[in-house]
Structure 1
């Protein structure tokens, strides 16, 4: 069977963005999952930053994975993938110059698109990842990403979080990222269709929503009418794999333990040990000058 090139897959992804349909992503985290997703007929996949951190480091999503580690995992997927996949490139692993390096590495890895978000990462001590960089810095990152891109078919998608700032600021940010040349806008944390309509009104580029299966946004036709082309429901396949691995190995060892009834989220928390990182942050990052 002839294999599609990276450019072919990027063109396929562009055709999804240009359509009038809403497509749901498959969570792909290694070559096998990418092949399974393509065989099952998924049109697009996504390598999540949090999933890559789990898969590569067994670490929580605290911006610990490096660009090289993330790009290596994307390269493994890109070698076999026969569906276009999006890379969740977090904040681009630094400032605008780091974003340029990120685009270069992920383009070589074979991704069809990548998202660059305007979250301030890594999070400052004592705060959750709820701070956003300035709009000007966000625009600079998008412009830098476009400058670093070699294959014009690679889609650069600007990402922001609608749950963290007032809707007027979301509208301002998304419109400025569109004006900067982003090929699409990714929005996390949209509450409902009323908020989505307000944001989408001033946008002409395709939208990507990270909904985490929000029940108030379960209408693909309505989302498509508002310009949504890509929907990320979450990464259930990866967490199901964690649960299946645990159950299989526990049964193999014939172990009955107090963790036997833990769900995938609880198991992930158990084995990524976020409490260790919190203690280390308190010890090494709580600097008082």
Structure 2
């Protein structure tokens, strides 16, 4: 049985997105969550069998031609959230960067993302301009300031799960653990220890924190490459691949544009492309067309009937 089309879905007839995400995390196996930076990426990930998605600030900004320095707006983030949720109907974890301000701004972000369909928001403890968690020279806000943001997010949320990310591990694992515990006390549902550099650090974090943990399996970073099974063996509950889909897509598009410039066309690359039939199947083109026909079907006038 196929899922109902977006225009026919009854979102009020099931648990909210945050609760659905919590149910996935509560199972006896790790939840693998790929990044999806667009509605099309979300559809393809869902078709492959993934049950939840991650919207990365780095992937979103890069897809807009911008660096990941905290310069997009909450409205742009909410728009992307709506697009991905609408396309996939999967629980979506949204990268909320530093929360776009202080306590009231964080509360507004939580409500906007809930209204857009998000299942969880991730907030980090960097100062602006923030950086990718695997780069050097990051500046952190005081732990108490971040804890206040977490508490504000918790107060504003109706079902949205709150993920607190700390970037302190690159400088001091002890300080990172202190911050994680403080964020849990403030109300974080999930902890995201960014840029862990080895198995010993990962094991120490698991021992120190008694809430679900999210591991970041980004490429070209500080954390050693591991499979979801290996993350699970280390006691983590979620693993994300936040920018992988964008990296692969960007590399493929670079090759396409170079080929067109050099060869004057796309002949020779057709086997690397999604066909028109595959595209229409992915986006349910004919199902929407049939829906349109069913609701817009003409009704013949009954001239002269039922008259005395």
Structure 2 match to 1:40: 48
Between the aligned partners of 1:166 and 1:4, the Cα distance in structure 2 is 47
CA offsets per residue over residues 53-91 of structure 1, 9 Å max, x none? Answer: 1223x0111211111111111111122222211101100
The answer (yes or no) to whether the contact 1:123–1:129 under 8 Å persists in 2 is: no
- For residue 120 of structure 1, the aligned residue among 124, 127, 133 is 127
Q: Measure the CA separation in 1 of the matches of 2:10 and 2:137.
A: 38
> RMSD over aligned Cα, in angstroms?
2.4
Tell me if structure 2 keeps the 8 A contact 1:156–1:183.
Answer: yes
Equivalent in the alignment of 2:93: 86
Q: Which runs of 5+ in 1 are unaligned?
A: 257-289
TM-score when normalising by structure 2: 0.74
**1:88-119 CA distance string (max 9 Å, x none):** 11001111221111111111111111100001
Corresponding residue of 1:99: 106
Residues 211 and 217 in structure 1, CA contact (< 8 A), matched pair in contact too: yes
Partner residue in 1 for 2:77: 70
Is the 1:190–1:211 contact (alpha carbons within 8 Å) kept by the matching residues of 2? no
The structure number with the bigger radius of gyration is: 2
SS in 1 for 2:192: strand
Name the count of aligned residue pairs: 251
Task: Classify the secondary structure of the residue corresponding to 1:65.
Answer: coil
**Inter-partner Cα distance in structure 2 for 1:189 and 1:45:** 20
Who is 1:23 aligned against? 31
Q: Find the counterpart in structure 2 of residue 179 from structure 1.
A: 185
Work out whether 1:199 is the aligned partner of 2:205. yes
Q: Is 1:218 the equivalent of 2:252?
A: no
- The answer as to 2:152 corresponding to 1:158 is no
Q: TM-score, normalised on structure 1?
A: 0.79
Q: 1:238 aligns with which of 246, 259, 273?
A: 246
Tell me, in whole angstroms, the C-alpha distance in 1 between the residues paired with 2:246 and 2:239. 17
